[in-house]
Chain A
Amino acid sequence: MSSRNRRNRIVLDEDETEAGPSRPTRRTALGNEGAGNVQKRRRRDEEESEASSNEGSVNQHSTIAEKAAQKLTTEELERKVKDVVRLALFSEHRKQPIKRDDIVKKVLHEHSRAFQVVFDKAQERLEDIFGMSLAELPKKSFSTGGIRKPVGNKDKTTKSYVLKNILPQEYRETDIISWEKNNEDIMGLLTIVLSLIHVNGRVLSDDQMTHYFRRLYLVNNDKFDLEKLLSTFVKQGYLDKQKTSRTDQSQNSEKEPLEYRWGPRAKIEMPESNLIKFIRAIFGQDAPPDLDKQVERSSGIDLT
C-alpha cells in the first residue's frame, strides 16, 4: 500500500514539473516512428519464420489468402491490418458485431481474398495491444422441440465477430472496468435477466419476464424502462427475442407472445463464473446442485 502511494506521489511530482499539456504526447509521437519501424521489421521476421515452420500444414485456403496478400505492398497490408483493428474497436464501442462483409466492403475492397491473412494479423495486433481477440458469434440456438424451423443459412459459421477479453480471468474480477454506477446497474440487470432465463429452462416469455421484474420492483421504476432496456439487450446481441410458437397461450391474445433466450454475445462475453455466483446468491439453498453443468449446457460454454 505504501509503495502504491509513493508511486502516486512520484507521478504527481513529475506532472508538476511538466511544462505543458502536449508534451508527453509529442514525445511519443516522435519516438513512435522508430518504434513502429522496429515493430514492422520484427513482424516481417515472424511472418517469414512462421511461413517456413508451417509449410507442411498450410491448407489450400490460406495459400490463396497468402497469394492475394502478396499483391499488397507492405504499407498497404499494414494499412489494412490497422483498419480492421480500428473497425473492430469502433464496432465494439457501439456494441455491434463486426461482420466479415464489413471488413471486405470497408477495408479490403478488391483484395477480399486476402481476408484470412489480414484478419489473422489484426487478431495478433488486438491481442498484443489490448489483450482482446475477435470471437465468432455462435449460431442461434433453438429449443429442441423441433417445432421451430431453423432460421437462415446452412453455413456452419455466422461470420460475425465480437471482441472478447482474453486477459486472465482473475484480472477481470476487479472492478477496474466499471465506470459509473449507471452502467454497473445495467450490467447487473443483464445478469438478472440472463439468470432468470437460465433457471427457467433457458427460455422466458415476455409475460414471465414482466412478472419477475414486478416482483423485483423493477417495473414502473423511474430508473429503468424495461421494454427499452430489453430491446437494447436484443440489439446488442445479449438476448434473442422470438415469437412464441406455442398455440396454447389463449390469454393475452392481443399482444404477440414473445420469448427471450440468451443471445450470441452473452455466450461469448458473460463472465460465466459471475453468473453462477450470482445465481447461487439469489437462490441460496435452492440453487440446483449441478448449476455449473446447467450453465454450461445453456450457454454452450465449456467451463472446465
Chain B
Amino acid sequence: MNNEYTDAHRLFLQASLSERFFTEATAIELYNKAYEATDVQDPEAFTGFIATINTKLNTIDLEFRKSHEEETGTAVWALVNTNGDEIAKLATEYTPIEITYFRRLIELIVTAEDEAFSVSSILALKEASKLKPSISKSNGETLLQRFVDDKWLNKSRGGIYSLSQRTILELQHFLKEEFEDILLECTLCFDIVTKGQRCKVAQCKARFHHHCAHRYFDSRNDKACPTCKIDWDSNIIGDNGSSGSVSRIRKPNNRTMTRVTRRFQETEVGDNDNDNDEMNQDGDDGDDF
C-alpha cells in the first residue's frame, strides 16, 4: 500500500482547517476533489488517506477523529487536539467569561438527573446570571445561540440544550478527565453516549446509541440485552421531554475539580504531561463487538 504524503493530502488539510468538523460524505467529497485538483497518480483509499494525514498531524498534537452523530448515526469527522494545552484554547473564539459559562453548561448537562444529559434554556440562562461578572438574559441568549451556531451545543425544538458531537469529539479528553465517573460509554461502540437507550433492568449497565442499538438488534432474532441477557426493553438516555433539571448526586469530587481548575489556569504552554494519558485512553477504546 502506498502512503506517500502528497499535495492531495495537503490540499485536503488546508480545506478542512477552516471548518474542522464535517460529515464523512463531505470528507469523501473533499478527498475526491483533492485528488482531482492535484492529479496525483495512484491515489490512496480514503481510510488510508486519513491515516497518512494523521501520521503527520500527530507530530503537532492534532488528529482527524471519526465518530457518529448521536441522533442520526451519521458518520462525522473532526480535526481535534490531542492535548488540552493553553494554545489550544486560542482556537476558541470566546472570551474567558464565555468559556467559563460554556464549562458550567457542560457541567449542568453532564450532571443532569436521570441520564437526561441536557439543560433547559431557563436553567441555562439562570446559570448565566450567577456568573461573576454575570451575563444578562439577552446576552446569555445570544451566547447560547452562538454555541449552537458554532456547533458546540445542540438545541432541540423544545429549547433544550445538549452536547454536540463536536464537543464530544473535540473535548473528549477534558470531558473524560472532569467527569470520568459520570459519563456513559456505549456498550457496543465504547464512545461516549449522551443520547440513546438504556436497559430497563435497573442494575444493568447496558447503554446504546440509537444507531448502535438498531445495528445490533436488526441483525439477530433474539431481542435480549447483550449484558444481562434479559429481554430487551429500553429507557431513553438524553432529552426525553422532561428536561434534566436537578443535578445528580454523583457530582465530580473535589479532587477532580481542583485538578481540572488548575489545568485551566495553567499559563505554561510547554508544561503538559497529559499526552500519554490521552494515548492510553485511545488505546483502551475497543471497538470490537
CB–CB A26/B87 < 8 A: no
Taking the closest CB of chain A, its distance from the CB of B55, in whole angstroms, is 5
A87 at the interface (CB under 8 A from B): yes
Interface string of B21-58 (1 = CB under 8 A from A): 00010001011111111100001011100110011111
B55 touches A128 (CB 8 A): no
A304 to chain B, nearest CB (A): 24
Closest-by-CB residue of B relative to A127 is B10
Known A-B contacts A94-B93, A130-B10; the reply to A22 vs B38 at CB < 8 A is: no
B17 on the interface (CB 8 Å rule)?
Answer: yes
Report Cα–Cα, A67/B39, bound state, in Å: 44
Are A29 and B88 closer than 8 Å at their CB atoms? Answer: no
Tell yes or no: A21 within 8 A of B by CB.
yes
- The main secondary structure of chain B at its interface with chain A is helix
Bound complex: CA A203 to CA B279 (Å): 54
Q: Which A residue sits closest to B271, measured CB to CB?
A: A79
Residues of A within 8 A of B20 (CB): 93
A129-B190 contact, Cβ under 8 Å, with A22-B66, A106-B86: no
A-facing mask of B125-155, CB < 8 A → 1, else 0? 0000000000000000000000000000000
Across the interface, A21 reaches (CB within 8 A) one of B19, B63, B66, namely B66
Range of interface residues on chain B?
Answer: 35 or more
Q: In the complex, are the beta carbons of B46 and A177 less than 8 A apart?
A: no
In the complex, A76→B268 CA distance in Å?
A: 13
- Most chain B CB neighbours (cut-off 10 Å) among A11, A87, A125, A167: A11
A89 at the interface (CB under 8 A from B): yes
B51 touches A28 (CB 8 A): yes
Distance between B176 CB and nearest chain A CB, rounded to angstroms: 13
Question: B-side interface residues toward A, CB under 8 Å?
Answer: 5, 7, 10-11, 13-15, 17-20, 24, 28, 30-38, 43, 45-47, 50-51, 54-68, 75, 85-88, 90-91, 93, 189-191, 269-270, 279, 282-283, 285-289
Residues of chain A having any CB pair with chain B under 8 Å: 4, 7-8, 10-12, 14-15, 18-32, 35-36, 39, 76, 79-80, 82-83, 85-87, 89-94, 106-107, 109, 125, 128-132, 165, 167-168, 170-171, 174-177, 179, 183
Nearest 9 A-B pairs (CB), nearest first?
A20-B287, A131-B10, A28-B54, A11-B46, A32-B58, A174-B37, A90-B90, A176-B33, A22-B285
6 example contacts (A-B, Cβ-Cβ < 8 A) are as follows A21-B75, A22-B191, A28-B54, A80-B270, A174-B36, A176-B30
